[in-house]
Amino acid sequence: MTDSKKLSQERYSQLTEGYVKSETHAKGYDLDRLFELADPQPEWSVLDVATGGGHTALKIAPAVKQMTVTDLTPEMLAAAEAHLTEKGITNAVYRVADAENLPLEDNTFDLVTCRIAPHHFPDAFKFVQECERVLQPGGVLIVQDHVLPDDEDAARYVDAFEKLRDPSHHRAFAEYEWRGIFLDAGLVIDHTEQLTKRHPFIQWAQRQNCSPKTITRLTVLLKQAPAPAAEWMEAHAIGTKDASFVNHHIIIKGHKPA
């Protein structure tokens, strides 16, 4: 296992409760939209990769025949299983799995989902290749994740801001990069869209157990952001308890050719 994956496991084994209870992960327009685009069917077998708190799996499981729920971090997966079980989900199986090396058979799933996780993966292309492999012909992959501006300097600034808050953040991508990843993996792109999510800054930082020193450094990055990055993050009330900012997400849907 790579050092970055070990770091991700180490950090998220200590952050399970925060992500199970996270409002930004548990609900919202973006999760509803992902479900709408997925259009899950009663006979489907579905895989949720890097489930985190299990919110995507919880949304989809009642609509399908079987849900396979995976995460790299055993403690996070156990928390997701407890959460789904408490909510009455009985058609799910749970497996510790590396998103880049899924321990699953070829041509198995009708739908694969992955929400707000690929920015942690050292090799996002390998992850999408693995999703393509385990999908049945005609099967659908839907990914939601942070998306960066096309402007390269602004993209690197925003990505550095995210990585300071969470050192296990590897890299986010611009939309044109996500499109290239899907196409290079052999998928047909059916839909892309972007949306924004406004985050209370202190709550966002504390979910990753940021120290006061790190919060100060993050605040400075918001204050000193060059114009293209500042326009992207739309910070408000910086340096106050009401501080907030925006990050952008992409939802990209593709299918494996039949």
Q: What is the pLDDT of residue 207?
A: 87
Contacts of 174 (CB under 8 A, 6+ apart): 147, 148, 149, 150, 155
Q: Give the span between the Cα atoms of 45 and 35, in whole angstroms.
A: 15
Quote the pLDDT of residue 2: 64
Low-confidence ranges of the chain (pLDDT < 50): none
Domains and CATH numbers, the chain: 3-196+249-255 (3.40.50.150)
Contact 55, 32 (CB under 8 A): no
Share of the chain above pLDDT 70, in %: 90
